Amino acid sequence: MLLKINFYCYLTIYFIVFNALTSFISMAYEVKSISPFPTNTATNTATNTATQSNQFMQESQLSSTFSNEIKQFWQQGSFSHFNATDKTRINYAQFVHDNKNQSCIVIVSGRSETYLKYQEVSYNLYQQGYNIFLLDHRGQGLSERLLANPNKGYVASFIDYEDDLSYFIDNIVSTTCQSKPYLLAHSMGGVISARYMQRFPDRIKAAVLSSPMMGFSSGPIPDFMAKGLISFTNRLNNWFSNEAWYFFGQADYRAVPFSKNELTHSRVRYQTFVDLYQEIPEVQLGGVTVNWLDEGIQAQNKIFAQLENLTTPILILQAAEDSIIDNQAQNNFCQQLHQLQPQSCSDGKPSIIKGAYHEILFESDDIRELALNQILTWFEQHH
């Protein structure tokens, strides 16, 4: 009887704490209302030297540009797939100039994204003279889903993401590019890219990680307790079910109104990718599973444990108003990495984009243009 009482007490405490953990990850898009966009706040810290030049399309031009220039550009791309080592289908796209001596950029997207979302970004960088390569991660976008419920954000191991990226670069990108490519990664793509560069330190010329998912915010719950509960819940999942559980509070895909999003201040860019997900429902993805979250934490731990292997020059773009991931983890990453590799993270800090929400590359014009100029400057400095 005592054992049963203690067990029930433990379960009660467990679920109270577990409820509080709903803020641990915002990937479910349970977001708060946006405050009015602050005037003239899209400036960076003093360490950033890139200037705005209005060389990229403005929000007011976006609708007509998508219908004309971007549509024409996208139709010139090459779209295909490869089978990963476990035979999972991975879809990808490439946009290559006639002059094959052009430098190459591999875009590594974030969780729940698809390369179709990156049409404007790809067009911008292609217009700057780069060959562009993109892939959809396993379990999302146009690539093969891994579970019976295609909405569940799942991966068996983050190493699978890294291996897919490695195959893509070795067997598709490198057959076209005359020199080592650059990496431009966002959010979860930043974790995948960092782990890839740790495992293969000589494959990439330089990298920019935008809002990299170096850590999750556990809110009022101590970090060690949050991670312990996630690990324990994943074990329960494995013990009692053959089906991957959603993390608490996660659910199938649903569109979030612009007024309640915390991804971007740009209404037109937000609506563009929301419309895309409605028009092509097969790219929709819901919340994360417990296993995905547990694997993500393990990948983050490996990044910090093996920083000495991260020799590729890296620039971190930090969204100052990011509520999706933990910016302090990015600060810790830069501080520690710069001590080991002075060519990365100038002054041991991320490049802070003031006024920006999580999706810097889809932000309002002034924020986005500042970020794109910094990206181009970083790549040019490591030509």
The residues pairing with 182 across neighbouring beta strands, listed in sequence order, are: 105
pLDDT of residue 29: 40
> Is the CA virtual torsion 63, 68, 69, 74 positive or negative?
positive
Q: What percentage of the chain carries pLDDT values higher than 70? A: 86
Question: Residue 170 has which token pair?
Answer: 């070795």
Bigger pLDDT: 251 vs 17 = 251
Average pLDDT over residues 167-188: 96
180-204 residue pLDDT tens: 999 999 999 999 999 999 999 999 9
pLDDT of residue 220: 77
112-152 residue pLDDT tens: 999 999 999 999 999 999 999 999 999 999 999 999 999 99
Question: Residue 47 has which token pair?
Answer: 């360490």
Angle between helices 223-240 and 290-305 (to 10 degrees): 130
Bigger pLDDT: 224 vs 10 = 224
The residues pairing with 318 across neighbouring beta strands, listed in sequence order, are: 352
pLDDT of residue 19: 56
Domain boundaries, the chain: 2-381
Distances from the Cα of 57 to the Cα of 43, 65, 275, 323, angstroms: 19, 8, 20, 27
pLDDT of residue 101: 79
CB 118 within 8 A of CB 358: no
pLDDT of residue 144: 98
Secondary structure letter of residue 34 according to DSSP: P
Average pLDDT over residues 62-77: 92
pLDDT of residue 20: 53
Q: With a cut of 70, say whether residue 312 has pLDDT above it.
A: yes
pLDDT of residue 36: 31
- Cα atoms in the Cβ-side hemisphere of radius 13 Å centred on 320: 15
CB 20 within 8 A of CB 218: no
pLDDT of residue 41: 37
Place 32 in a pLDDT band, splitting at 50, 70 and 90: very low
Q: With a cut of 80, say whether residue 16 has pLDDT above it.
A: no
Helices (H), 249-347: 267-279, 290-305, 327-340
Bigger pLDDT: 53 vs 1 = 53
Express the helix, strand and coil content of the chain in percent, nearest 5 each. Answer: 45, 10, 40
CATH number of 2-381: 3.40.50.1820
